[in-house]
Structure 1
């Protein structure tokens, strides 16, 4: 039993460190991963490498190499034994000794054929013959053509008929002679319909059909038979025993409706299937497949394949013409019932579009009606700062609200009369108040139409009013009517055929408690076109 103890080892920096492993483990440097390939020992703080028996330390003083004992002569093999080196050792094998003329092979002495390996000493003109363990030299003997040397050295005849192949041509027989051979033609008698074969030894059938020596009628087919031939009718023909001819068979009549799915056409010796319009013959040559005419684009727009034909269709906004193939655009603007567009209808391929006047209107969200542009709100007007912008259908007006002499401006649309100096009679007749109004109508307004009402505010019991158009009614478009004791109305009396602007003064006279007072409503009436 060995007690473990610490052993100093040399670190890569040259320092010593304590190794807690036993000394015995230091002897196997390869197992411990040390610098030595086999044994390693530490002496005086440095490691020293050594090798196992049968190995020697290499010049690097670290690795071990095998020692070839057989070459270095340090083996233990005796006389009659052969040294064989092994890794780390050697073995001794017994050496076999053979007599002259023999050689060792796989532990057995075998005869050497000196004639084959050419180790004999036979001179020119002599022939080497191997013997057991030796050889003998004998004289050479030459034989004439057609003879060969036997085992006793004699020249004997060669039977070319049995030793050679294809000595004679087909139809000839080989006969051996001394030193040669001869070919003799074979003669064979064959029956009618047969002939001598190429080898002349047997009779073979004559194929009259192949050689063209047969005699068959029109439409008949030659079939070869042993020693003869036969004439048969081809497929699709029937033999007429009276006339001895082959007649065509009409398969379409014989098998009606069984050969072709649609149309059967008889042909000489056969038949052919065909299909009607809208179908194509299938690969089996009998059935008919529906033809997809739409693949050839026969329609100007949409095509739908149907069994045996096709149908053309048009997209929305088009109609199919009488030719059944071409699609023509529908003019919705000229053919529609009623007004599809508020202002103008513009036909486009397959549909239509609505348009609005170039100025004053914009297209509404429904794409059919036109919406008036309020230039006064959008600021798209050219009114001055002293003018007031008033929007009308499709346009606008710039209005000026000015008060006449002896009036003051009480608001943007109202003028109040000032006092009359000296109670001048003409001044007292002037209206107490002038108020501006704006009205907008279209030319298609139904007439007579009540467009304005006027009354005192506030009104009292006993008030009496009278209403009259005092200015702007030269053409008689307007009229007035008293609705009750304190209310009057203005009417558009007749139709205005075209766009027109009016400035109308409507005077209301109020009789209250015996005193007469007048008021004027100055009305801008704008009549716009009703094309929208």
Structure 2
């Protein structure tokens, strides 16, 4: 008596296309009687054999950044950055106090333009995976001054700024929030101004600029909630 051999089940075709049943975070490869998961370049297969985790090229010294650059790890790759202080303008100049911070030099006597300029500029680089869940808080900033002060947060420019919003989480804290999912690869830049002024007299006490750059990956990375 002959026995028919049941056809091999293509698990990848059956389950991979739906987010609810997908077997692999990145790619699914069918094998005789089974399947295996494959990851995109810049990722390694997680211990669960389904998800993919990012390779940190910066920590593993696998980057191509030159001397003077700072290596920023991203999901699936890395970027070499070199933050620069604002150029001197209207009697205002800055000095670099750390790799990601610039402070304003003392203002010349009587220079109103200098006193109205930002007292500091800081640089923030954030890795994001593609189409991450929104709203997503990217950055928080606050002041430790007394409750008599008022804070004003303003997005003053940048590429892709329509994907961002500033939320007031308390009297002394604001949050930069990603409000729209972004497909990668993409680089989003936004400049956030934090102005501290005295509420009663509206006297400007200080203004700080946060330059935030978000690197959006082409693919997703390991997330324990992805399935």
TM-score normalized with structure 1 length: 0.37
- Is residue 526 of structure 1 aligned with residue 212 of structure 2? no
Question: Match of 2:158?
Answer: 472
C-alpha distance after superposition, 1:374-396 (max 9, x if no partner):
00011111011110001010011
Residue 506 and residue 445 in structure 1: after superposition, are their counterparts in 2 closer, same or farther (change >3 A)?
A: same
Question: Match of 1:509?
Answer: 195
C-alpha distance in 2 between matches for 1:326 and 1:427: 83
Counting only pairs closer than 5 Å after superposition, residues 324-339 of structure 1 correspond to structure 2 as: 324-336=3-15, 338-339=21-22
Contact 1:390–1:399, Cα closer than 8 Å, also in 2: yes
C-alpha distance after superposition, 1:338-396 (max 9, x if no partner):
11111111001111111111x21112222222111000011111011110001010011
Contact 1:443–1:498, Cα closer than 8 Å, also in 2: yes
Query: Secondary structure of the residue that 1:398 maps to in structure 2?
Result: strand
Contact 2:160–2:189, Cα closer than 8 Å, also in 1: no
C-alpha distance in 2 between matches for 1:389 and 1:474: 23
Structure 1 gaps of 5+ residues are: 1-292, 299-323
C-alpha distance after superposition, 1:435-475 (max 9, x if no partner):
1112222232233333222111x231212100001121565
- Deviation at 1:530? 4.2
Residue of 133, 136, 154 corresponding to 1:449: 136
- Deviation at 1:531? 4.2
Residue 452 and residue 328 in structure 1: after superposition, are their counterparts in 2 closer, same or farther (change >3 A)?
A: same
Please say which structure displays the higher CA radius of gyration.
Answer: 1
C-alpha distance in 1 between matches for 2:159 and 2:153: 14
Residue 494 and residue 432 in structure 1: after superposition, are their counterparts in 2 closer, same or farther (change >3 A)?
A: same
Question: Match of 1:493?
Answer: 179
Question: Match of 1:343?
Answer: 26
Residue 329 and residue 474 in structure 1: after superposition, are their counterparts in 2 closer, same or farther (change >3 A)?
A: closer
Residue of 99, 108, 114 corresponding to 1:421: 108
C-alpha distance in 1 between matches for 2:149 and 2:211: 22
Aligned residues: 209
C-alpha distance in 2 between matches for 1:328 and 1:441: 42
Residue of 354, 365, 369 corresponding to 2:37: 354
C-alpha distance after superposition, 1:116-160 (max 9, x if no partner):
xxxxxxxxxxxxxxxxxxxxxxxxxxxxxxxxxxxxxxxxxxxxx
Query: Secondary structure of the residue that 1:376 maps to in structure 2?
Result: coil
Contact 2:183–2:216, Cα closer than 8 Å, also in 1: no
- Deviation at 1:497? 2.9
C-alpha distance in 2 between matches for 1:386 and 1:325: 68
Q: Which has the higher contact order (CA 8 A, sep 6+)?
A: 2
Query: Secondary structure of the residue that 2:59 maps to in structure 1?
Result: helix
- Deviation at 1:504? 1.4
C-alpha distance in 1 between matches for 2:55 and 2:161: 31
C-alpha distance after superposition, 1:233-255 (max 9, x if no partner):
xxxxxxxxxxxxxxxxxxxxxxx
C-alpha distance in 2 between matches for 1:482 and 1:364: 38
C-alpha distance after superposition, 1:47-90 (max 9, x if no partner):
xxxxxxxxxxxxxxxxxxxxxxxxxxxxxxxxxxxxxxxxxxxx
C-alpha distance after superposition, 1:503-522 (max 9, x if no partner):
21110000147431101111
Counting only pairs closer than 5 Å after superposition, residues 111-130 of structure 1 correspond to structure 2 as: none
- Is residue 389 of structure 1 aligned with residue 68 of structure 2? no
Residue of 96, 115, 121 corresponding to 1:409: 96
C-alpha distance in 2 between matches for 1:340 and 1:430: 54
Query: Secondary structure of the residue that 2:73 maps to in structure 1?
Result: strand
C-alpha distance in 1 between matches for 2:119 and 2:160: 25
Question: Match of 1:373?
Answer: 55
Query: Secondary structure of the residue that 2:65 maps to in structure 1?
Result: coil
C-alpha distance after superposition, 1:239-274 (max 9, x if no partner):
xxxxxxxxxxxxxxxxxxxxxxxxxxxxxxxxxxxx
Contact 1:481–1:489, Cα closer than 8 Å, also in 2: yes
Contact 1:466–1:482, Cα closer than 8 Å, also in 2: no
